[in-house]
């Protein structure tokens, strides 16, 4: 009996860039529609549902998948009776396929997500998990280019940065290339209402077009006045966004009413990665305030007597105390411990407000009011969590 082999056109086991269709390439190389970009806390970003929509558009239904590699609860704190703050870390893998079902490539990335001051512990966990998973998926997707927000890392720019790819030559007739459709402006997903502490209620959220905000920059509205008072903290080519930095440490240093408060501001600036020239400006502020206090001290100690007043018994005049090396060393030690604690939290993508939630839950006070020993213990816990995440 003769067996006749059947020759079938089975797809190759592997796929590469040439397996993308011209329409897919055109869509991936096109600049992002500005109506898709959202701004929150000074950073430009895409909504997670919008990223999923565009994955469906480019690769088709069933043409991509996301896999949760890790989902870990980093912190769970009852910050007030019946109010919860929860933090999660997620690692996700995004896999995209060709139109015939072959795996084209896969990307892994991780992110942190939190839910703050929630009245329900279950809702707090649910919100933090979804936020971490969505952020990790978006970080994976930006490897696919401008359609998925890659250009936003270029100072929040909406202009395409991919432009071309040697693996995908342009069609001979550019006019024949399909146009990427425009959509109505993207709206953010509804989020639970969170009751903010009274101290934060009056603070206005600062926003800008930047994808990666920096605290060492001056907003254009403040620049004309501040340039006369102090030198710029960054080079001219690094202009800030329309609404300025998340925090102005120079202004906080000017407003500090004690040396301890100034040390806390300086420690926060160090933990946030301030350059040396910026720290030098902070130190100059402290020196000016100390000199002004010394000049005003004699005037405050010797009030002018009324001309017709009866001579009063002489009172001892308070003499400014000499510098206390031990107190200065203690303040410096506390500032270093606070800076190390903030740096350990930054390694886990925790901002100072989250760290305050942790210290209130563990030590009963904000981070700036914790002792050196308490800060050292909390720092060790955060570093252990970071090492566990790296492992």
204 pLDDT band (50/70/90 cuts)?
very low
Phi then psi dihedrals of residue 334, to 5 deg: -65, -40
9 vs 169, more confident = 169
Residue 375: CB partners within 8 Å, gap ≥ 6? 334, 337, 338, 340, 341, 367
Q: Is the pLDDT of residue 210 over 60?
A: no
Q: Count of domains in the chain?
A: 2
Confidence at residue 304, expressed as pLDDT on a 0 to 100 scale: 56
Q: Output the CA–CA distances (angstroms, integers) from residue 349 to 11, 13, 272, 279, in the order listed.
A: 43, 39, 11, 23
Parent domain of 22: 17-176
Both 145 and 268 in one domain: the answer is: no
204 vs 108, more confident = 108
Domain boundary among 124, 152, 176: 176
Half-sphere exposure in the Cβ direction for 170 (13 Å, CA): 10
Both 148 and 283 in one domain: the answer is: no
Q: What angle is formed at CA 140 by the lines to CA 134 and CA 141, rounded to 5 degrees?
A: 90
Give 166's DSSP letter.
Answer: T
Q: Is the pLDDT of residue 89 over 90?
A: yes
Domain assignment present for residue 130? The answer is yes
Cβ-contact 90, 129 below 8 angstroms: yes
1 vs 380, more confident = 380
313 pLDDT band (50/70/90 cuts)?
low
Domain assignment present for residue 192? The answer is no
pTM, two decimal places: 0.47
Environment class of 224 (CB within 10 Å of its CB; exposed 0-12, middle 13-18, buried 19+): exposed
Domain assignment present for residue 239? The answer is no
Both 132 and 41 in one domain: the answer is: yes
For the residues of 61-91, what is the DSSP string, one character each?
Answer: TTSEEEEEEEEEEEEEEEEETTEEEEEEEEE
382 vs 71, more confident = 71
Domain assignment present for residue 151? The answer is yes
Q: Is the pLDDT of residue 217 over 80?
A: no
Domain assignment present for residue 81? The answer is yes
The first and second tokens of residue 119, run together, are 């009245």
- In angstroms, the CA 344 to CA 352 distance is 11
Calculate mean pLDDT across residues 80-88.
93
> What CATH number should be reported for the domain holding residue 58?
3.30.390.80
Both 152 and 263 in one domain: the answer is: no
Both 36 and 159 in one domain: the answer is: yes
- In angstroms, the CA 117 to CA 127 distance is 11
Domain assignment present for residue 181? The answer is no
238 pLDDT band (50/70/90 cuts)?
very low
Both 164 and 269 in one domain: the answer is: no
Domain assignment present for residue 367? The answer is yes
Answer positive or negative: Cα dihedral of 357, 363, 364, 367.
negative
């Amino acid at each position: 009996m003769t067996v006749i082999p059947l020759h079938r056109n089975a797809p190759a086991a592997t796929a590469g860039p040439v397996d993308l269709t011209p329409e897919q390439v055109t869509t991936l190389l096109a600049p992002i529609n500005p109506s898709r970009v959202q701004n929150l806390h000074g950073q430009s970003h895409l909504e997670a549902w919008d990223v999923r929509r565009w994955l469906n558009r480019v690769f088709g239904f069933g043409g991509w998948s996301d896999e949760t590699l890790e989902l870990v609860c980093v912190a769970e704190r009852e910050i007030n009776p019946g109010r919860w703050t929860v933090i999660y870390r997620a690692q996700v893998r995004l896999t995209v396929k060709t139109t015939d079902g072959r795996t084209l490539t896969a990307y892994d990335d991780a992110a942190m997500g939190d839910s703050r001051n929630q009245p329900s512990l279950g809702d707090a966990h649910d919100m933090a998990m979804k936020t971490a998973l969505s952020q990790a998926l978006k970080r994976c997707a930006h490897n696919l280019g401008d359609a998925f927000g890659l250009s936003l890392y270029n100072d929040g720019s909406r202009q395409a940065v991919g432009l071309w790819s040697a693996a995908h030559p342009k069609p001979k007739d550019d006019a024949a290339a399909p146009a990427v459709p425009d959509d109505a402006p993207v709206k953010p997903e509804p989020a639970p209402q969170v009751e903010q502490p009274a101290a934060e209620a009056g603070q206005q959220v600062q926003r800008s077009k930047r994808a990666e905000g920096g605290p060492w920059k001056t907003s254009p509205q403040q620049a004309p006045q501040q340039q006369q008072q102090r030198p710029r903290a960054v080079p001219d080519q690094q202009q800030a966004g329309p609404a300025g930095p998340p925090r102005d440490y120079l202004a906080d240093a000017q407003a500090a009413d004690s040396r301890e408060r100034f040390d806390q501001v300086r420690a926060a600036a160090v933990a946030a990665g301030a350059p040396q020239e910026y720290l030098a400006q902070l130190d100059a502020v402290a020196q000016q305030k100390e000199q002004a206090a010394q000049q005003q001290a004699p005037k405050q100690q010797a009030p002018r007597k009324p001309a017709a007043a009866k001579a009063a018994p002489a009172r001892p005049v308070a003499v400014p105390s000499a510098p206390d090396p031990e107190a200065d060393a203690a303040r410096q030690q506390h500032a270093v411990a606070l800076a190390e604690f903030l740096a350990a939290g930054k390694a886990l993508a925790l901002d100072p407000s989250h760290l305050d939630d942790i210290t209130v839950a563990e030590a009963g006070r904000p981070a700036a009011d914790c002792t050196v020993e308490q800060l050292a213990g909390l720092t060790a816990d955060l570093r252990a969590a970071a090492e566990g995440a790296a492992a």
